[in-house]
Amino acid sequence: MNAMLWQILQIILVVALAPLVTGYVRWVKARLNGRRGPVPIQPYRDLYRLLQKEAIVAHSASWIFRAAPYVTFASVWLAACIVPTFTTNMVLAPAADLIALVALLAVGRFWTALAGMDVGTAFGGLGASREMLIASLAEPAMLMVTFSLSLISGTTAPAQIVSFVLAGNVGVEVSLGLALAALVMVAIAENGRIPIDNPATHLELTMVHEAMVLEYSGRHLAMIEAAGMVRLTLFIALIATLFAPWGIAQPGAGALGVLVGMGAFLAKTFLLASTLAVFETSIAKMRVFRYADFLGGALLLGLLATIFLYVSEAV
C-alpha cells in the first residue's frame, strides 16, 4: 500500500519539480554571466502562458505532429517515475529497469524526431537528423553504463542498485568513475546542453533540438518544453541516485525516513543543477561533426568501465 502511495508522490514530484530545476539552472547561469536573470519559478509562468495560447498546426502536418508532444511528455514522465529519487519502495520499481528507462527515453526521441519531419520543412529534417546521430551514440553509451553497474551490483534495477550500494558493498572503483563520466556525457547530450547543443539558441547552424520543434506553438510547445524539463530532472536524479544514493529510504523505513530521503534528494538535485550551470558557463559549444568524437568517447568509457572491472579483479 505504501509502495503505491510513494509511487504517486514520485509521479507528482518529478513533474512539479522539473520547471523549478530548469528555472534554477537558468537563474544561476544568468548570475554567473553577471545578469539578474528571471526568477527560478519563471518556467511555471511560461508553461501556463503557452497553455493559454492557441496551437498553430501547419496544413501539411499529420496526426503524428499533434500526438507527438503528448507521447513524448508521457514517455519521459513514465521514465522519470522509474528512478527511485527518495525511496526504493515503489510500485514501478520491478516493472522497469535501466534498460527499459533507456528505451522509454528513446520512445520520446523517436516521436519528436518524426514530428520534426512531419511538416516537411528543411529545419525539421535537419534537427531530426542531428538528434538521431546523437542518439545513436548516446543510447549505447548509456547501455554500457548499465552493463558495468549490473556487473558490479548484479542487477539492472535502479532500486536494487541503490540497496546494494547502501548496504556498503561497493568501495571506490575505477569502473565507477568511468561509468559516471560516461553517464554525465550522455546526460549532457540527451538534454541538449552545452557543449552539444545550446538550449537558448535559435541560430540555425547550432540548433539540434530547437530545430526539430520549430513548428510547435501553444500547448504543443508547452508539452515539448515540459518534457525537456522532466528529462533534465530525470538525468540529475538518475546520476544522484546511482552514484550518490545516500539518504534514499529503503523499504521498511517509516514516514520519517521518506522525509529524510526527500530532503536529501532536493539537496542533491540543486547541487547538481548548480554544477551544470557552472559547467555550461565555462565551456563553449562544439561543432556538429565533433559530436561523434565526444559521444564515441562516452561509449568507449562505458566499455572501459566494464573491462576495468576484470582488470581490477585480476590485479
Partner 1 sequence: MLIAGALLSLPLLALFAVLAGGRHSGHSITYAGCFVAAIALLAGGLTYLGGHDASPRLVLPLGLPWLKAHFRIDNLSALFMLMINLGAAAASAFAVGYSRHLPQRRRVTPFYPLFLLAMNLVLMADDAFTFLVSWEFMSLASWLMVVSDHTEEENRRAGNVYLIMAAFGTFCLLPAFGLMAGPGGDFTFDAMRIKDLGLMGGFLVALLAILGAGSKAGLVPLHAWLPLAHPAAPSHVSALMSGVMTKVALYGMIRILLDLHGTLSWHWGAGLMLVGGITAVMGVLYAVLQDDLKTLLAYSTVENIGVAVIGLGLAIAFKGDGQTELAALALVASLYHMANHSVFKTLLFLGAGAVISATGHRSLTVLGGLLKRMPWTGTTFLVGAAAISALPPLNGFVSEWLILQSLFKGPAMPHWAMKFGVPVVAAFLALAAALAATCFVRAYGIAFLGRPRSTDAAQATEVSFGMRLSMVVLAVLCVVLGVIPVTVTDALSHAVQPLTGTQFAVSADLGWPWLSPVSATRGAYSGTILVMFGLALFAITIFAVHRLGTQAIRRADPWDCGHPEDIPQTQYTSQSFAQPLRRAFGHTIFKARETVVMPEPGDDAPATHKVTMFDPIWSGLYAPLGRVIGWIADHVNRLQYLTVRGYLLMMFLTLVFMLLVVAVRQQL
Nearest 5°: the CA angle 79, 83, 84 is 150
Please report whether residue 234 would count as binding partner 1 according to CB under 8 A.
no
C-beta of 66: minimal distance to partner 1 in Å?
8
Count of residues that interact with partner 1, criterion CB under 8 A:
90
Give how far Cα 258 sits from Cα of 53, 79, 165, Å. Answer: 39, 21, 18
Cα-trace Rg, the chain: 19
C-beta of 297: minimal distance to partner 1 in Å?
13
**What are residue 249's DSSP bridge partners?**
87
Please report whether residue 75 would count as binding partner 1 according to CB under 8 A.
yes
Stretch near partner 1 under the rule CB under 8 A, chosen from 20-28, 87-95, 177-185, 186-194: 87-95
Within 109-148, which residues bind partner 1 (CB under 8 A)? 109-110, 113-114, 116-126, 128-130, 132-133, 135-140, 143-144, 147
DSSP letter assigned to residue 87: B
- The residue with cell 499533434 is 66
Beta carbon nearer to partner 1, 48 or 246: 48
C-beta of 231: minimal distance to partner 1 in Å?
15
- The residue with cell 548570475 is 31
CB 234 within 8 A of CB 23: no
Stretch near partner 1 under the rule CB under 8 A, chosen from 33-41, 150-158, 170-178, 185-193: 150-158
Among 18, 21, 90, 92, binds partner 1 (CB under 8 A): 92
Beta carbon nearer to partner 1, 129 or 275: 129
* CB half-sphere exposure, 64, CA atoms < 13 A: 15
DSSP letter assigned to residue 284: P
Please report whether residue 154 would count as binding partner 1 according to CB under 8 A.
yes
Within 257-296, which residues bind partner 1 (CB under 8 A)? 288-289, 291-292
Tell me the C-alpha distance between 220 and 238, whole Å.
Answer: 27
